Amino acid sequence: MLRLLIAGLSGLVFGLGLIASGMSNPAKVKGFLDLAGAWDPSLALVMGGAIAVGVFAFATGKRRERAWSGERMEIPNIRVIDARLIVGGLLFGIGWGIAGFCPGPALVALGSGMDAALIFVPAMLAGMLLHDQFTQPR
């Protein structure tokens, strides 16, 4: 039960942060990616803030054996850069550039009833299902 409460509160804080920063608006994201036009640097500030928080969170997490919910801490330690990672990153970036959404902001936009999210989120879920179908060991 505590795990669900922590997950729910974390999601709520994350979603509110996305709304407050405007990052659930695809036009804002596309403005950041438009280097040759009316470039909007605000996404870089949001990313910088997230990285700063993440650095401290991961440093603290590495020293802990258990999360606040009591579950065992499992921080990935894989440092391999392979073709799967590069291709996945390219596909993610291309999709992000075309749609102006990544998964978190897309869910926030879906919750607010944004038309573009009504198309993007099902397509994202279909892509996740296809990935699972082709990458699961048989």
Angle ∠(56,62,66) on CA atoms, nearest 5: 110
Does residue 54 carry a pLDDT above 80? yes
Question: How many other CB atoms are found less than 10 A from the CB of residue 103?
Answer: 14
pLDDT-above-70 percentage for the chain = 99
Strand partners, 66: 72
What does the alpha-carbon distance between residue 30 and residue 52 come to, in Å, rounded to a whole number? 23
Strand partners, 72: 66
Q: How far is CA 77 from the centre of its chain?
A: 19
- H/E stretch holding 109: helix 103-111
The answer to whether 13 touches 19, Cβ cutoff 8 Å, is no
The answer to whether 11 touches 94, Cβ cutoff 8 Å, is no
pLDDT at res. 123: 92
Position 137 confidence tier, pLDDT thresholds 50, 70, 90? low
The answer to whether 73 touches 65, Cβ cutoff 8 Å, is yes
pLDDT at res. 1: 81
pLDDT at res. 12: 92
